[in-house]
Amino acid sequence: MFSFCTDPSILPDWQWMACYLTTGKHMSIYWSVLTVFLLLAITAPTALAFGFAGASAARSRIAPVSWLGRGYIAIVRGVPDIAFFLFFVIALDQAIEYLRHRAICPDWTEPVRQGNDFVVCAAAKMPLGNAPQWIHETYGFGLAVLTFAIVFGAFAANVLFGAMRAVPKAQLETAEAYGMTPRQTFWRVMVPQMWVYALPGLSNLWMVLIKATPLLFLLGVEDIVYWARELGGTKTSRFTEYPHGDWRMWYFLALLVFYLMFTRVSEIVLDRLMVRLTRGQATTGGEAQRKAAT
Amino acid sequence: MSCLQTIADYGLRSIGIGERLLPREDFTLCQQFTLIGSGMIWNIYFGLLALVFGFMLATAVAMGKNAQSKLIRKPSEWFIFVFRGSPLFIQFFFAYFLFLQLKGVHPFFDPFSAAWLGALIVLFLNTAAYSAEIFYGALQSIPKGEVEAADAYGLSGWPRFKRVVWPTMLRLGWPAYTNEAIFLFHATTLVYFSGFPAWQQRGDALYYANYFADKTFNPFIPYPILAGYFILLTLVIIGIFGLVNRRLNRHLPANTRQKMKLRMNLIR
Amino acid sequence: MKSILLTTAAMAMTAGMAMAQDVVRMGTEGAYPPYNFINDAGEVDGFERELGDELCARAELTCEWVTNEWDSIIPNLVSGNYDTIIAGMSITDERDEVIDFTQNYTLPDPSAYVAMSADVDLEGGVLAAQANTIQAAFIAETGATLVEFATPEETIAAVKNGEADAVLADKAFLTPIADEDADLMMLDKEELIGGGIGLGLRESDTELKEKFDAAITSMKEDGSLNALIAKWEIGDGF
């Protein structure tokens, strides 16, 4: 990185550190921090969409749709946390390949499960065996996002379901009295008002989501936890220019601080957002704001 | 090999009693049920002890956060923030490596890097922080009339705390605390997936479930078994906490009693 | 299965071949020097990197390097996330039932013990080994207490901080560590387990196996394999 990095063994401490922290290997951990942000940026809206769909389905007057929505919420929330993550990615991967296998190779006669092997025809592989590396990475990341979105979607669905019910009944009745159809009532009256009731739950969920990101490690994505372990381990001088002892504690301390700062910033932003959304609402918070203003 | 024989061999495998070698081939359903069930011993051990000790610390920290004095309030707030603001997964890793370093300083720290103590400490502190926040919230919402009534009866200091504030705090915080307890038990599955190593292949339920999924390349059997065990455990917790909740609310008229509202939580 | 998916620090090999061929994905661990490790630049390096690149060149294949945790390296091969395992994996009967191996490209390297002192109780003490290795299976059957770790690095750390009395691993892996660290010493006792290291492949990939077998044979014949073994100090040559 820096011009003085040619022979690290003779450098003074701070320069050595500067060189050490900018090796190609360290770039990987910085990239994985960006991966965390990317994951959050994609997962949060996706999970919210899943949640919205789930909550709307659960409220539906058509019984099967309602069961589907309620079932989705109940099943995902009932299964213990990481077991779900460990199980789901494999299941999802195999399910996708199986479906493609069925669609693409209909005349394949052998069973898909042959003892230990899960065999599908080559054309059904996801991603295709000859795909370049970045597609494999993106696919893996995509599966992780989908897993996160499905799990957190169920939690979001629960929050939104509660929020929809919290919208004062009188509002909906008024809308009906004005001759709005159920669809109009839903989109024009309920949806705009439910957010203030959903926000505390959703911001809690956001915090949980942030704290769930290290579980990418369990999904096999080479994430910050992987790199912290790999970079922190003892290095002998034969295989690196920067030999050092067991520094894993310091790497994980850095991760700890990173997450603390991240959650703190989120907290502050969400608090501000809450103040914004409460303005003019028929809630205790809104009332307090109104009184403070006068 | 009959199933009873398997249970005799592997029923207590997770604490080192019984057959030394884990099954290597021809995995039967019975083996999976037995070993994963055996691993539950550790989940219950971690969950139960952390809950009991965490409860005591949580009460103290909640009082601390509610205190007037800045000297007491600030450390309590920081304690809660550090443990609630960072992922438990990272806390496990960090604690393990920290205990390893401390081991080099003094032999007193020798047992700390083993899961049975080290992971227990992390879980204990973690649940204490989460519960303290719950109890603090409950303290804040104690009706002021109750405290004023206590004052009118001449109660103050410790008697007032013991007979009025503390029971009311528990009553108000109990539904949320139930969730925390369920959640703590679920979190115990993280222990052997973080830094803490498994000795002689003695691990918790997820460790064995993962072992079978690795060996059979089929996740569709061990993980549902694990999920089944956890749903059972969750039901037991709900039952026990429900009984306590009834007791806490027994003085109230039936229609104002607080209903237990269960909110499953996810990874912290 | 800890990681059925993987993302990696892999880079396409610039083999410069005009033929539009399927890419062969080489799965390795990247944490077992000198066999394979991630170098300062963040790339896969080591004996097996050089060997693999040479084998691919001789077999006229386009290869790509992928890292995966040791724990799930076989499941991920079987489910097709990469096409070969080239990760210092000893050929054993147990593994051979699940996957196929090429001929061995190293002679059986004896496993050695590294400990803090020479008078360690190897029969009844606590011995560290990487999970799912031949060494772990070996210790599990002796009277010693086995502690398993996910990465080789952690087994060494366990000895240094007193978790374990000694670590059992491939000699070529332990030698540079014992040389460099004044606290650690290699014991005289060695165990001959395993039958040399080979490339792991899916059982259905017979064609690829033949290509690699032929390439290994040609490297053995012209002595270039021995040169690599000597360069990276992986035991004796053929």
Q: Assess whether C39 and C146 both reside in one domain.
A: no
Tell me whether residue C47 is in a domain.
yes
Domain that holds residue C85: 23-107+195-232
A253 CB neighbours in chain B (<8 A) are: 94
> Looking at chain A, how many residues does it have?
294
Q: Which amino acid is at C204?
A: S
Nearest to A116 among C2, C67, C98 (CB): C98
What DSSP line would sit under C58-110, residue for residue?
HTT-EEEEEE--GGGHHHHHHTTS-SEE-SSPBP-HHHHHHSEE-S-SSPPPP
3-class SS of residue A2: coil
Closest Cα to residue C42, out of B155, A222, B1, A68? Answer: A222
Between strands C84-85 and C23-28, the pairing is: parallel
3-class SS of residue A11: coil
Interface chains of chain C (3 or more CB pairs under 8 Å): A, B
Residue C106: how many other CB atoms lie within 10 Å: 25
Cβ–Cβ pairs < 8 A, chains A and C: 131
Partner-chain contact A23 C42, CB within 8 Å? yes
ipTM score: 0.85
How far CA C188 is from CA of A26, A236, B122, C113, C236, in Å, comes to: 38, 22, 40, 8, 18
Task: Dihedral sign for Cα B47, B50, B56, B58, please.
Answer: negative
User: Is the bond preceding residue C34 a cis peptide, omega within 30 degrees?
Assistant: yes
Q: Assess whether C61 and C28 both reside in one domain.
A: yes
Structure token pair of residue A91: 């299941």
Residues ≥6 apart with Cβ < 8 Å to C91: C101, C104, C194, C195, C196, C197, C198
Give A235-263 pLDDT, tens digit per residue: 877 778 888 888 888 999 999 999 999 99
How far CA B174 is from CA of B49, B80, B242, C141, in Å, comes to: 18, 19, 9, 49
For residue C26, give the H/E element and its range.
strand C23-28
What DSSP line would sit under A158-225, residue for residue?
HHHHHHHHHS-HHHHHHHHHTT--HHHIIIIIIHHHHHHHHHHHHHHHHHHHHHHGGGGGTTT---HH
Tell me whether residue C31 is in a domain.
yes
C161 CB neighbours in chain B (<8 A) are: 100, 103-104, 113
Tell me whether residue C10 is in a domain.
no
Give C65-87 pLDDT, tens digit per residue: 888 888 778 877 877 778 899 99
Between strands C126-130 and C166-170, the pairing is: parallel
Residue A167: how many other CB atoms lie within 10 Å: 18
The answer, for C146 touching chain B at a CB cutoff of 8 Å, is yes
Tell me whether residue C17 is in a domain.
no
How far CA C38 is from CA of A178, C10, C46, C65, C151, in Å, comes to: 69, 10, 8, 11, 14
Selected for mutation to probe chain B from A248, A257, A264, A268 (highest B CB count within 10 Å) is A248
Q: Assess whether C99 and C205 both reside in one domain.
A: yes
Q: Assess whether C176 and C202 both reside in one domain.
A: no
B20 CB neighbours in chain C (<8 A) are: 140
Partner-chain contact A214 B90, CB within 8 Å? yes
Q: What pLDDT is stored for residue B46 in this prediction?
A: 95
C130 CB neighbours in chain A (<8 A) are: none
Q: Can you list the residues of chain A whose pLDDT is less than 70?
A: 1, 77-82, 112-119, 122, 128-133, 220, 280-285, 294
B234 CB neighbours in chain A (<8 A) are: 78
Give B112-161 pLDDT, tens digit per residue: 888 889 999 999 999 999 999 999 999 988 888 888 888 899 888 889 88
Q: Assess whether C90 and C205 both reside in one domain.
A: yes
Q: Assess whether C103 and C201 both reside in one domain.
A: yes
Question: What CATH number is attached to the domain comprising C140?
Answer: 3.40.190.10
Interface chains of chain A (3 or more CB pairs under 8 Å): B, C
Within chain C, residue ranges assigned H as helices are 47-58, 73-78, 93-98, 134-140, 152-160, 171-180, 206-221, 224-232
Closest Cα to residue C172, out of C150, C138, C197? Answer: C197
- Domains, chain B: 42-199 (1.10.3720.10)
Give C114-169 pLDDT, tens digit per residue: 998 888 888 888 899 998 888 988 888 887 888 888 888 888 888 887 778 899 99
Nearest to C7 among A86, A129, A222 (CB): A222
Partner-chain contact B197 C147, CB within 8 Å? yes
Nearest chain B Cα distance for residue C215, angstroms:
31
Q: Assess whether C76 and C137 both reside in one domain.
A: no
A81 CB neighbours in chain B (<8 A) are: 186-187, 189, 266-267
Tell me whether residue C13 is in a domain.
no
Nearest to B214 among C75, C157, C158 (CB): C75
Structure token pair of residue B202: 């003695």
Q: What pLDDT is stored for residue B227 in this prediction?
A: 85
* C-alpha span between C55 and C84 (Å, rounded): 12
The answer, for C77 touching chain B at a CB cutoff of 8 Å, is no
Q: Assess whether C61 and C177 both reside in one domain.
A: no
Nearest chain A Cα distance for residue B153, angstroms:
33
Nearest chain A Cα distance for residue B146, angstroms:
23
Interface of C with B in 180-219 (CB under 8 A): none
Question: One digit per residue, pLDDT tens: chain B, 268 residues?
Answer: 688 888 888 888 888 787 767 777 778 889 899 999 999 999 999 999 999 999 999 999 999 999 889 999 999 999 999 999 999 989 999 999 898 888 878 888 878 888 889 999 999 999 999 999 999 999 988 888 888 888 899 888 889 888 888 999 999 888 889 888 888 988 898 888 877 877 777 888 988 988 888 777 777 888 889 888 988 888 899 889 989 988 988 888 766 666 655 554 444 4
Tell the CATH superfamily of the A3-293 domain.
Answer: MetI-like (1.10.3720.10)
Tell me whether residue C238 is in a domain.
no
Q: How many domains does chain C have?
A: 2
Q: What pLDDT is stored for residue A117 in this prediction?
A: 61
Partner-chain contact B223 A256, CB within 8 Å? no
Between strands C145-149 and C185-191, the pairing is: unpaired
* C-alpha span between C166 and B115 (Å, rounded): 20
User: Is the bond preceding residue A127 a cis peptide, omega within 30 degrees?
Assistant: yes
State the distance between the two ends of chain B, measured CA to CA, in whole angstroms.
42
Nearest chain C Cα distance for residue A238, angstroms:
7
Partner-chain contact B267 A246, CB within 8 Å? no
Closest Cα to residue C29, out of C99, C111, C84? Answer: C84
How far CA A219 is from CA of A145, B200, C222, in Å, comes to: 10, 25, 43
Q: Assess whether C100 and C202 both reside in one domain.
A: yes
Q: Which residue of A has its CA nearest to C41?
A: A24
Interface of A with C in 207-266 (CB under 8 A): 218-222, 229-230, 233-234, 236-243, 246, 248
Tell me whether residue C5 is in a domain.
no
The answer, for A133 touching chain C at a CB cutoff of 8 Å, is yes
B113 CB neighbours in chain C (<8 A) are: 161, 163
Closest Cα to residue C3, out of C71, C89, C52, C64? Answer: C71
Q: What pLDDT is stored for residue C55 in this prediction?
A: 93
Q: What pLDDT is stored for residue B91 in this prediction?
A: 94
Q: Assess whether C118 and C131 both reside in one domain.
A: yes
The count of C-alpha atoms lying within 13 angstroms of the C-alpha of B187, restricted to the half-sphere facing its C-beta, is 32
* C-alpha span between C49 and C54 (Å, rounded): 9
Q: Find out whether B151 and B235 touch, Cβ atoms under 8 Å.
A: no
Q: Find out whether A212 and A40 touch, Cβ atoms under 8 Å.
A: no
Residues ≥6 apart with Cβ < 8 Å to B183: B264, B265, B268
Q: What pLDDT is stored for residue A220 in this prediction?
A: 67
Across the range C204-226, mean pLDDT stands at 90
Q: Which residue of A has its CA nearest to B233?
A: A80
Q: Assess whether C76 and C29 both reside in one domain.
A: yes
The domain boundary, picked from C159, C175, C191, lies at C191
Partner-chain contact B197 C162, CB within 8 Å? no
Nearest chain C Cα distance for residue B104, angstroms:
7
Give C1-58 pLDDT, tens digit per residue: 333 333 333 333 333 333 334 688 899 988 888 899 988 888 899 999 999 999 999 9
Quickly tell me which residue has 């190593």 as its tokens.
B197
Q: Assess whether C103 and C200 both reside in one domain.
A: yes
Tell me whether residue C116 is in a domain.
yes
Structure token pair of residue C90: 């000893």
